[in-house]
Chains A and B, each alone.
Chain A
Amino acid sequence: MQKIEAVIQPSKLDSVKDALVEIGVDGMTILEARGHGRQKGHTEVYRGREYSVDLLPKVKLEIVVTDDMVDRAVNAIIAAARTGTIGDGKIFISKIDEAIRIRNDERGEIAL
């Protein structure tokens, strides 16, 4: 089992979600986030006072999948989320030790 965390542009959430559902990813968690990588922020001016906003709104999507699904899921996310411009986001992958379904205590891949 591996966890895929993808930080993406908020406007790309729907297409990424659809792409993942299409390849058979059943569950996901979405967080509204703020952040920046290499992307520069922007300046906002309120009554002449300038504020540089470098933490931009993003969506962070978390899914946990079986090992054999990881590549397909990552490709689906990349294909759906890419605009080709700076600020498209990043994907992080990590190993997951255990998954537990709260309702019936199922453990392991069957709980995904």
Chain B
Amino acid sequence: MRVAVVKVFLALLLMLGVGGPVLAGQKALAQSPVATSSAPQADRLATLEKQTADNATAIAAAQTSGDNAWMLVSAALVLMMSGPGLALFYGGLVRKKNVLGTMMQTFAMMAMVTVLWALVTYSLAFGEGNAFIGGFQNVFLHGVGLVPDPKYAATIPLQTFMVYQLMFAIITPALITGAFAERMKFSSMLVFMFLWTIFIYSPMAHMVWGKGGLLNAALGGRIPCLDFAGGTVVHVTSGVSALVTAIYLGKRIGYPKEPMPPHSVVLSFIGACLLWVGWFGFNAGSALSAGTLATSAFVATHFGAAAAAIGWSAAEWMRQGKASALGAISGAVAGLVAITPAAGFVTPMSALWIGLVAGVFCYLMVVKVKAWFGYDDSLDAFGVHGAGGTLGAILTGIFANSAINPILGAGKPTGLLEGNWHQLLNQFAGVAIAWTISIAGTLIILFVVDKTMGLRVSEDDERDGLDLSQHGEEGYDWAH
């Protein structure tokens, strides 16, 4: 009995389901002959057109919110690389009397470069200008609003682009501080960095990423150089300038006779791990959108770091019999540096190779080459960033793959392995320009600051440590 009721009920449902549309169709058929006059048809066309336009707007808005969400997170991640990442990484590597002074140098960049960026350096880097430097039309962020600039990033507000690029401008000079750690006056450091950001960072960023820049591969530069996230702009310039400052300032008192071991590898360890995570914003964010390119840069970044940690550790293990924590994290940072220009151009397998080579290469630079020449690059800013950045820029010209990023045109060979040996020459040219500007510019700035206000702290101040002598405080107060 109950079964019969269910069957009837189901049959009714079926009739409703099938019959409904049929009935509706008849109704529509019945209506269609009536709608022959042209006016309602034009109305419907207009409605459709409006709907299509609305859809396009909605799709664009959705893409903007998606891309913008990722870019804002990326900007925050890159700031996290400076403070706390780099501040901890460097802070742990110095002696404990210099821990605050070292962290403060990075933190000062977060404040000073930001203000400078708003006033003038954004305009110098990304404003319309010549092949070498931008103009002044964007000073005080004039014209940098919420409307995208399609030449830079079509789907995110220009202000997002501006603030994202700012984070790169902050960490670049902060990287240099590792070379002159434990001996530079805070006041002189500020003036040096102020000038460095204007005269070295801004033109270099403009050449590689700015509209009409000499080396810009995406916006028609004369020598298109592949630098996805700043291998030359950030790491070669900071690393080479670091070497110049280390040599110009001279060694720390007592170096290399007195022991100057890191006072806390634990702090450095936390800092390096923050750097690794932050680097996803640095590299994958450089896609300037949340699309597939960001994914491939993200993956390459991670693989490069891992392989380099293994490369450095293996080299150390073989030479010294132990794999140290400091070695592993230094290797990871070296790999992140080397993969920076390549991420977004290379396959995951190429990223593994780049990382592995960078890990071993930077280990040898830091352990062997530094000892041969005897310069006191205190925290190895050159050995890791200068050497790793240069290596990465060149390897990018070898491994760049048009399937990952057809930046030179769809199907056109990009790197040497695809047969485009010319790209390798361009990479060398980009590196050479970055080295030249960094050496010449840094030397001039150092000379000017040295002659006007002096660069180094007094011997007594250096012995007391930067914390007390420069800032009047101590990182660790054992008495309380």
Q: Give the interface of A toward B (CB within 8 A).
A: 44-49, 51
B320 within 8 A of A: yes
Nearest CB in chain A to that of B330: its residue: A47
Q: Please indicate the chain A residues that have their CB under 8 angstroms from the CB of B371 in the complex.
A: 48
**Could you pull out 25 A-B pairs where Cβ atoms are within 8 angstroms?**
A44-B261, A45-B320, A45-B322, A45-B324, A46-B261, A46-B262, A46-B265, A46-B324, A46-B326, A47-B326, A47-B327, A47-B330, A47-B366, A47-B367, A47-B380, A48-B320, A48-B363, A48-B366, A48-B367, A48-B368, A48-B371, A49-B256, A49-B261, A51-B259, A51-B261
A13 smallest CB distance to B (angstroms) = 19
Q: Which of B364-384 contact A (CB under 8 A)?
A: 366-368, 371, 380
When each residue 320-352 of chain B gets 1 if its CB lies under 8 Å from chain A and 0 otherwise, what string results?
101010110010000000000000000000000
Measured in the bound complex, the distance between the Cα atoms of B371 and A45 in whole Å is 14
Q: Please indicate the chain B residues that have their CB under 8 angstroms from the CB of A44 in the complex.
A: 261
Measured in the bound complex, the distance between the Cα atoms of B315 and A45 in whole Å is 14
State the interface size on chain B (CB cutoff 8 A): 17
Q: Please indicate the chain A residues that have their CB under 8 angstroms from the CB of B324 in the complex.
A: 45-46
B102 smallest CB distance to A (angstroms) = 16
B339 smallest CB distance to A (angstroms) = 21
Measured in the bound complex, the distance between the Cα atoms of B367 and A46 in whole Å is 9
Q: Please indicate the chain B residues that have their CB under 8 angstroms from the CB of A48 in the complex.
A: 320, 363, 366-368, 371
Measured in the bound complex, the distance between the Cα atoms of B368 and A49 in whole Å is 10
A67 smallest CB distance to B (angstroms) = 36
Q: Which of B147-181 contact A (CB under 8 A)?
A: none
- Interface majority SS (helix, strand, loop, mixed), chain A: strand
Measured in the bound complex, the distance between the Cα atoms of B265 and A44 in whole Å is 12
A52 smallest CB distance to B (angstroms) = 8
- Interface majority SS (helix, strand, loop, mixed), chain B: helix
Measured in the bound complex, the distance between the Cα atoms of B262 and A44 in whole Å is 11
Q: Please indicate the chain B residues that have their CB under 8 angstroms from the CB of A49 in the complex.
A: 256, 261
Nearest CB in chain A to that of B370: its residue: A48
Measured in the bound complex, the distance between the Cα atoms of B257 and A51 in whole Å is 10
B239 smallest CB distance to A (angstroms) = 16
Q: Please indicate the chain B residues that have their CB under 8 angstroms from the CB of A51 in the complex.
A: 259, 261
Nearest CB in chain A to that of B321: its residue: A45
B267 smallest CB distance to A (angstroms) = 14
A45 smallest CB distance to B (angstroms) = 6
Q: Please indicate the chain A residues that have their CB under 8 angstroms from the CB of B380 in the complex.
A: 47
Q: Please indicate the chain A residues that have their CB under 8 angstroms from the CB of B320 in the complex.
A: 45, 48
Nearest CB in chain B to that of A45: its residue: B320
Instruction: Contacts A47-B327, A48-B367 known; list 16 others, CB within 8 Å.
Output: A44-B261, A45-B320, A45-B322, A46-B262, A46-B265, A46-B326, A47-B326, A47-B330, A47-B366, A47-B367, A47-B380, A48-B363, A48-B371, A49-B256, A51-B259, A51-B261
Q: Please indicate the chain B residues that have their CB under 8 angstroms from the CB of A46 in the complex.
A: 261-262, 265, 324, 326
Measured in the bound complex, the distance between the Cα atoms of B263 and A46 in whole Å is 11
Q: Please indicate the chain A residues that have their CB under 8 angstroms from the CB of B330 in the complex.
A: 47
Measured in the bound complex, the distance between the Cα atoms of B330 and A48 in whole Å is 12
When each residue 11-52 of chain B gets 1 if its CB lies under 8 Å from chain A and 0 otherwise, what string results?
000000000000000000000000000000000000000000
Measured in the bound complex, the distance between the Cα atoms of B367 and A47 in whole Å is 6
Q: Which 8 A-B pairs have the closest CB atoms?
A: A48-B367, A51-B259, A51-B261, A46-B261, A47-B366, A45-B320, A46-B262, A46-B326
B257 smallest CB distance to A (angstroms) = 11
B275 smallest CB distance to A (angstroms) = 16
Nearest CB in chain B to that of A51: its residue: B259
Measured in the bound complex, the distance between the Cα atoms of B383 and A49 in whole Å is 14
B90 smallest CB distance to A (angstroms) = 13
Q: Please indicate the chain A residues that have their CB under 8 angstroms from the CB of B327 in the complex.
A: 47
B333 smallest CB distance to A (angstroms) = 12
A110 smallest CB distance to B (angstroms) = 32
Measured in the bound complex, the distance between the Cα atoms of B366 and A24 in whole Å is 57
Measured in the bound complex, the distance between the Cα atoms of B330 and A72 in whole Å is 53
Nearest CB in chain B to that of A47: its residue: B366
A40 smallest CB distance to B (angstroms) = 17
**Most B C-beta atoms less than 10 A away, residue of A45, A46, A47, A49:** A47
Nearest CB in chain B to that of A48: its residue: B367
Q: Please indicate the chain B residues that have their CB under 8 angstroms from the CB of A45 in the complex.
A: 320, 322, 324
Q: Which of B225-278 contact A (CB under 8 A)?
A: 256, 259, 261-262, 265
A51 smallest CB distance to B (angstroms) = 4
Measured in the bound complex, the distance between the Cα atoms of B272 and A47 in whole Å is 15
B350 smallest CB distance to A (angstroms) = 27
Nearest CB in chain A to that of B384: its residue: A47
A66 smallest CB distance to B (angstroms) = 33
Measured in the bound complex, the distance between the Cα atoms of B259 and A47 in whole Å is 13
Measured in the bound complex, the distance between the Cα atoms of B322 and A44 in whole Å is 10
